[in-house]
Amino acid sequence: MRVACLSGGVGGAKLACGLQDVLAPGELTVIGNVGDDVEVLGLHVAPDLDSVLYALAGLNDEERGWGRAGETWRALEAARHWGGEGWFMLGDLDLGLHLVRTQALRTGDPLSAVTARLAEAAGLATLVLPATDDPLRTSVVTPGGTFPFQEWFVARRHEDEVDAMVFAGADAARPAPGVLEAIRDADALVVAPSNPYTSIHPILAVDGLRETVVARRERTVAVSPLVGGRAVKGPLDRMLMRMSGGTSPAHVARCYEGLIGALVIDRADAPAESDVPLVVTDTLMTDRDAGRRLAEVVLEAVA
Ligand code: FO1
């Protein structure tokens, strides 16, 4: 069974792990958001792709949610000591990946080729594709101004309310090689329990992506990132309330209007009504087994 998964960072990475565990090697393709990418200390950091790579390879820090397990921070301490920027936490192990990626990008390799090499180095059979190789950067429009995504998320601790998102470069961004084919040819397309506004919409903003998903909507299932109307992590509940007027499954489904054939929701959010069929299960991925169980339910929903 061929499965494609649209994914942001932490929640997406967990479900991708579950899908990888229940599928045969090579059956899963993860298409990751690059709108959160940021240049720090001259290095190209791709947080969502890295969360997926690290989780699939079993290298991720489960408690923190991002970065690597067993991380140390000596290089960052040294950078701060010498007056370098220190607001974005880059660990020593993590930095190794950013060095390799940045060097390859500087020699002209596309992000998709570099990501494929990183996945291969991690021993993954799963294909990890950036949505686009072209520059696409998310900014967040707030009452206090418009901020680059990571400035809002990390430096300002996503405290500002959000009025809108801007995906700079989306007009010119073409899908990375293999992205449209993976979406079109998959037996099931899964939209991970990531923040629709910050993680999934920038993927869909890439040229041809949305249309390709619309064309196969019946075999596409999204997993709601809410449990009991609250975000498992991050600012999604506040964003939904302000931009969509509520945090029910119907409000989540509306973020994917015309794109999905079913929405998987947590038991804590049922009973509920929505324009798309709802599948009720436990969506909280507290450990790898829970991710595997959720993956099974998700795949059954499109069978
Ligand atoms: N999140 C934070 O809240 N603070 C950080 O300093 C931080 C550093 C960081 C470094 C590498 C990386 O891959 C992710 C990192 N994240 C950090 C997480 C990241 O900002 C978010 O997970 C995503 O961009 C949201 O999907």
Which of 41, 72, 88, 156 should be mutated for ligand 1, with most atoms under 8 A from CB?
A: 88
Burial of 219: CB neighbours in 10 Å, binned 0-12, 13-18, 19+: middle
- Residue 40: the pLDDT is 98
Q: Which of 63, 80, 89 to mutate to test the pocket of ligand 1 (most atoms within 8 A of CB)?
A: 89
- Paired with 128 in beta bridges are 30
Count of the separate structural domains present in the chain: 1
Let me know if 48 is exposed, middle or buried by CB neighbors in 10 A (0-12, 13-18, 19+): buried
Ligand 1 centre and the CA of 217: distance in Å?
A: 31
Do 45 and 3 touch, CB atoms closer than 8 A?
A: no
Taking only the tens place, the pLDDT of each residue in 251-297 is 999 999 999 999 999 999 999 999 999 999 999 999 999 999 999 99
**Centre of ligand 1 from the C-alpha of residue 286, in Å:** 20
Taking the CA of residue 33 as reference, the ligand 1 atom at the shortest distance is 26
Q: Dump pLDDT digits (tens) for 169-202.
A: 999 999 999 999 999 999 999 999 999 999 999 9
Terminal CA-to-CA distance of the chain, rounded, Å? 10
Residue 7 has pLDDT above 90, yes or no: yes
- Average pLDDT value for the chain: 97
User: What is the rounded average pLDDT of the residues 226-231?
Assistant: 96
pLDDT tops 90 at residue 303 = no
Does 163 score more than 90 pLDDT? yes
How confident is the model over 104-130, as pLDDT tens digits? 999 999 999 999 999 999 999 999 999
- Domain residue limits at 164: 3-300
Q: What spacing in Å lies between the alpha carbon of 142 and ligand 1's midpoint?
A: 20
- Give the nearest ligand 1 atom to 50 CA: 13
Q: What is the CATH number of the domain that holds 142?
A: 3.40.50.10680
Phi-psi region of 66 (alpha: psi -120 to 50; beta: other; left: phi over 0): beta
Ligand 1 mutation target, pool 154, 158, 201, most atoms within 8 A of CB = 154
CB-defined site of ligand 1, < 6 Å: 8-10, 36, 45, 47-48, 50, 66-67, 88-90, 94, 150, 153-154, 199
Q: What is the pLDDT of residues 230-261, one digit of tens each?
A: 999 899 999 999 999 999 999 999 999 999 99
Q: In percent, how much of the chain has pLDDT > 90?
A: 99
Binning pLDDT at 50, 70 and 90, where does residue 101 land?
very high
Nearest CA to ligand 1 atom 2: 154
Q: How far is the CA of 274 from the centre of ligand 1 (A)?
A: 33
Q: Which residues make beta-bridge pairs with 278?
A: 263
Band (pLDDT 50/70/90 cuts) for residue 53 is very high
d(CA 302, CA 46): 30
Q: For 72-77, what is the mean pLDDT?
A: 98
Distance from Cα 38 to the centre of ligand 1, integer Å: 10
pLDDT computed for residue 1 by the predictor? 96
Given this model, what pLDDT does residue 233 score? 87
- CA 129 to CA 93: how far, in whole Å? 22
Q: Which atom of ligand 1 is nearest to the CA of 87?
A: 6
- Ligand 1 closest atom vs CA 89: 6
